[in-house]
Amino acid sequence: MKRGTAVRSAVLWMSAVGLLGACGGQPEQPPASSETVTTTQSLVSPPATLSGGFMNYLGTLSVGGAVASNTGTTAAYEGFKLTVAAHTQVALEVTHLGTGVGVDTGLFVYGPKDANGSYGTRILFQDDDSGYGELSKIPLATLDDAGEYLVVVGWSNGLGKQYRLQAQCVGGACVSNPAPASANTPVTLAQFPIEPNLQSLLDTGNAYREDMFSFLDRYDFAWPYSTPASLDAAAAAVLAKSEYRGYRSDPAPGTYTYAAFQSRMYLQFQSLHPAILAAYGDSGEDVQVKSYFREFSTGPNGDNWRTLNVILFPVSRHVIVYEQTAHEI
């Protein structure tokens, strides 16, 4: 669904159509130029709740496999259980191959399931129409914790047609017999929202005084290798972004352990230090930080000081960027 179109409400419904297991196979090839792209549809919103009859007909989706079902004739949702080891990285897609023409989908990931059988209410990953036409695709979902996740497919137009949902391994624990990475293997970053508690701590720190302000961003990277990504590769990927180009001229960036990094944070933001580690770190993980500094003036009483900190979590495959700024007032 293209941005700017009206949102059509969907009715919560679960199809009784059988779920067909299938091998994931090779990544889907682009369609031939002669094939017709579906027309613009409405945004598929997340389900209002995961409870009720919707929970009674869950199928199983395996990493490296696919499932097929039918949309029925009304707007609805279907859920599939995906069980993974810790630090599994998958790509999820409603594929053009095996999906009827005109089907318009949304894709949502919840979990992992807790001891009470709940997947929670927070959407970990979602997509509307990044796939072919109006179909959904999540190119990278990094699942930090082992357990059972819920992958939900929704559609705004019940056309009574089949759809196919595929889960491919793209990195982490699901890779069989991974090879070591070469010395110059790059890191490719995909941005995701930070955890809500981290946003709250950041907002509190930013309200403390007007001349100091910090930013926090989360990036994940698919890594199918047996050896970890390097801090230099992670930093290079961050500096390649245009918003950080001002730090490229730092002649001597510093490298720190995560423990040593805390004292380099402004006092009002230091509560973020243990919270970041708790949110993204793995037990015993060698978290590393590379810091860049720049200063400039915008005129009289306009001195600015800024520090960019690239935090690499090599086991959990996250890169957290913490930028702190200060200026004269």
pLDDT at 57: 58
| Residue 43 DSSP one-character state | B
Pairing of strands 190-192, 212-220: antiparallel
Mutual orientation of helices 272-280 and 196-206 as an angle, nearest 10°? 160
pLDDT at 51: 66
User: What is the number of other CB atoms lying within 10 angstroms of the CB of residue 206?
Assistant: 15
pLDDT at 259: 97
Q: Is residue 184 part of a domain?
A: no
From the list 49, 35, 15, the residue with the least C-alpha distance to 165 is 15
Q: What are the pLDDT digits (tens) for 9-66?
A: 333 333 333 333 333 344 444 444 334 344 455 688 888 777 654 544 568 999 999 9
CATH of the domain at 107: 2.60.120.380
Is the pLDDT at 319 greater than 90, yes or no? yes
Q: Is residue 262 part of a domain?
A: yes
Which amino acid belongs to residue 27? P
Structural domain count of the chain: 2
Q: Are residues 125 and 52 in the same domain?
A: yes
Q: Are residues 146 and 217 in the same domain?
A: no
4's CB contacts (< 8 A; 6+ apart) are none
pLDDT at 9: 30
* Range(s) of the domain holding residue 314: 190-327
Q: Is residue 37 part of a domain?
A: yes
Q: What are the pLDDT digits (tens) for 261-289?
A: 999 999 999 999 999 999 999 989 999 99
CATH of the domain at 243: 3.40.1000
Residue pair 56/15 in contact by the 8 Å Cβ criterion:
no
pLDDT at 322: 98
Q: Are residues 139 and 271 in the same domain?
A: no
Q: Are residues 24 and 152 in the same domain?
A: yes
Q: Are residues 156 and 279 in the same domain?
A: no
Q: Is 80 helix (H, G, I), strand (E, B) or coil?
A: strand
Output the average pLDDT for the chain.
87
Is the pLDDT at 196 greater than 60, yes or no? yes
Average pLDDT for 196-206: 98
Which amino acid belongs to residue 32? A
- How far apart (Å, rounded) are the C-alpha atoms in residues 231 and 254? 12
Average pLDDT for 221-246: 97
Across the beta sheet with 76-84, what order do the strands follow? 59-60, 76-84, 147-155, 105-110, 125-127
Q: What are the pLDDT digits (tens) for 86-129?
A: 999 999 999 999 999 999 999 999 999 999 999 999 999 999 99
- How far apart (Å, rounded) are the C-alpha atoms in residues 93 and 29? 13
Name the domain boundary from 141, 170, 199: 170
Is the pLDDT at 239 greater than 90, yes or no? yes
Name the domain boundary from 170, 199, 227: 170
Q: Are residues 36 and 165 in the same domain?
A: yes
Q: Are residues 241 and 278 in the same domain?
A: yes
Q: Are residues 299 and 158 in the same domain?
A: no
Across the beta sheet with 88-94, what order do the strands follow? 20-23, 65-70, 162-172, 88-94, 137-143
Which amino acid belongs to residue 31? P
Q: Are residues 166 and 260 in the same domain?
A: no
What number of CA atoms fall less than 13 Å from residue 199's CA on the CB side?
6
Residue found under tokens 């991974």: 178
Range in 26-30, 199-203, 212-216 with the lowest mean pLDDT: 26-30
Q: Are residues 43 and 92 in the same domain?
A: yes
pLDDT at 54: 54
Write phi, then psi, for 163 (nearest 5 degrees).
-135, 160
How open is the CA angle 189-190-194, to the nearest 5 degrees? 115
Q: Are residues 33 and 69 in the same domain?
A: yes
Q: What are the pLDDT digits (tens) for 129-175?
A: 999 999 999 999 999 999 999 999 999 888 899 999 999 999 999 99
Q: Is residue 176 part of a domain?
A: no
Q: Is residue 73 part of a domain?
A: yes
